[in-house]
Chains A and B, each alone.
Chain A
């Protein structure tokens, strides 16, 4: 048995070599998607030419001894192709790979669409490189990423694509606003907008003053720790603890300031909070 096995392997290899010898079709070493090329043939008479690809198939009559012209539209999809010439009951074939053409477009995924300022590694950009026939370009390419908000310093980085994908993580800037996140490759540019928003309020301060109706409470302009005005609509909670009990009101910020009129007649201690951030406390006296 140990002697028979190498002999069987040798016989199989010989048969494979003989079969390959029959496939005498020749194709260029590199075929790019959407590019024309020729396949030389030998012999005479007519034959049927088949080209089977990942997304197409072609069948036509050819003349043996002449070159077979493969048209650009017949090899638009990248992948493995099989070319077969059938003549007089004999098949000659060759399989070859069509590679993606030059980069023509980028699919750019940017996440998230909103992010607080000064977040480390919070922005993710992923690009997929495609040629003009929507084939993934797997050859390495340099993709430039640039993140910039109006009036702020831009941040940029170059990433080499691997298997058609280039991705990176970036920090959000310190300035709130709509940041342009641009991916560029050989003049191809794709832009996404990342809304950089103010972070949690910092040093929340209020002042209170009694008037005829009650107590007017107002925050100082509410800003985050980077100095950005906190978004309008952000809820600020005023709490007044007085003789009549506890009074609370949730008020949205308008033009950087939250304001409320608390109808409390007696003296009270008023505090402020926004989300999980607490502010200062003020005391107001009772009505005269």
Chain B
């Protein structure tokens, strides 16, 4: 009995202490402050909470709830809002999900505020980070988000004649006689190679050209040779290359060796593997208005517009940017995926990062585009 009374008294004492000395904005261990939590809905009573709530609903795929948090719902069609966030036309965004996000109030005055949302998307090609600055306004006592809908142009119905080449291959048959001729693999040539140190990663960059008159599927391999002639590591270009090269087409490549330093390396052994593959010269994608600029975070980026000149939708596009110094030497290769589909005849913006160690050295650059098109039956 005495113990029960003691426990009740202790509880009351702790409650009083809690009211007298409150701990403001205590963070939950394991959860980053300002991070949206899936399923945490409800109207926010601060601008940041409103954005967090919206992103939480996006993460939970609760589109109706997310849409209800928009201040400009009258101007934004619900379907367009969902397509803007969740993607369409088989774009990369359709193979993505919001993994996490962070928010920060940039400024707030009266019933308006500007909140920066850092979104971390988990996609089929790896993580993608997106930053949006969202205007938040107070409506009826609640903060709501003005969604900056990027309207996707609709393509008018039309017939786009496409008569570019297509290459098909007939190989030597298994039952052919010994000595019967086969079709040779395409001739490709490494036209440049440069090893640079980037943080704690040794990076091999350069360009490769298809010198043949047939398309080639190219893969680049590099082996680091140590001071004593031993092989240190072997890596390939993975997706940092334009694998399918049409005749006389030039592709940049980049091969990363994390944890290696230039001082450890005596030489680099390069190997370009080329296979003859069926290919099509369609689609042609123009890269327009390429220029250097700073993004909202103040980082240098190379941006521009991609224009799909064919009549087919390009589902996923990857931009590869090659940077040259004043001697024409390749000093860096960066890449980035465009998370929207490239609709025919419709410009789509892109931006790829320019690392700090290249700023001031870049004299010129060249952008090429890898494309992936969903097979149609």
Contact = CB atoms under 8 A, between A and B. Distances in A.
A274 B248 contact: yes
Nearest to A255: B163
User: Most chain-A CB neighbours within 10 Å: which of B191, B214, B247?
Assistant: B247
B130 interface: no
Interface string A255-280: 00000111110000000001111000
A235 interface: yes
A85 B119 CA distance: 93
A73 interface: no
Interface string A218-252: 00000000000001111111000000111111111
Contacts of A198: 213
A173 B115 CA distance: 69
B181 A263 contact: no
A246 B293 CA distance: 13
B165 A233 contact: yes
Given A113-B181, A263-B307, A274-B248, A250 B284 contact: yes
Given A197-B213, A248-B366, A233 B281 contact: yes
Given A248-B366, A254-B164, A254-B165, A275 B248 contact: yes
A96 B82 CA distance: 88
B4 interface: no
A202 interface: no
Interface size classification for chain B: 35 or more
Contacts of A112: 184
A143 interface: no
B209 to A, nearest CB: 5
A252 B246 CA distance: 8
A158 B128 CA distance: 65
Interface string B309-320: 100000000000
B165 A246 contact: no
Nearest to B367: A248
B250 interface: yes
Given A252-B165, A263-B288, A234 B181 contact: no
A246 B288 CA distance: 7
Contacts of B227: none
A92 interface: no
Mostly, the A contact residues are strand
Contacts of A276: 191, 209, 250
B286 A234 contact: no
B139 to A, nearest CB: 39
Interface in A100-129: 107-114, 128
Nearest to A245: B291
Given A233-B281, A234-B247, A234-B248, A250 B184 contact: no
Interface residues of A, number: 41
A192 interface: yes
Contact of A246 (B182, B248, B291): B291
B178 interface: yes
B368 interface: yes
Given A231-B213, A275-B248, A247 B289 contact: yes
A231 to B, nearest CB: 4
A248 B290 contact: yes
A193 interface: yes
B247 A231 contact: yes
A254 B163 contact: yes
A251 to B, nearest CB: 6
B247 A235 contact: yes
A235 B165 contact: no
Nearest to B368: A250
A244 B293 CA distance: 12
A263 to B, nearest CB: 6
A235 B164 CA distance: 12
Contact of B250 (A113, A114, A275): A275
Contacts of A201: 248
12 contacts: A128-B179, A198-B213, A233-B213, A234-B246, A234-B247, A248-B287, A250-B284, A260-B284, A260-B286, A262-B286, A275-B250, A277-B248
Interface of A: 107-114, 128, 192-193, 197-198, 200-201, 231-237, 244-252, 254, 260-264, 274-277
Interface of B: 163-165, 167, 177-179, 181-184, 191, 209-215, 246-250, 281, 284-291, 304, 307, 309, 347, 365-368
Given A113-B181, A245-B289, 6 more contacts: A113-B182, A233-B164, A233-B215, A236-B248, A247-B287, A275-B211
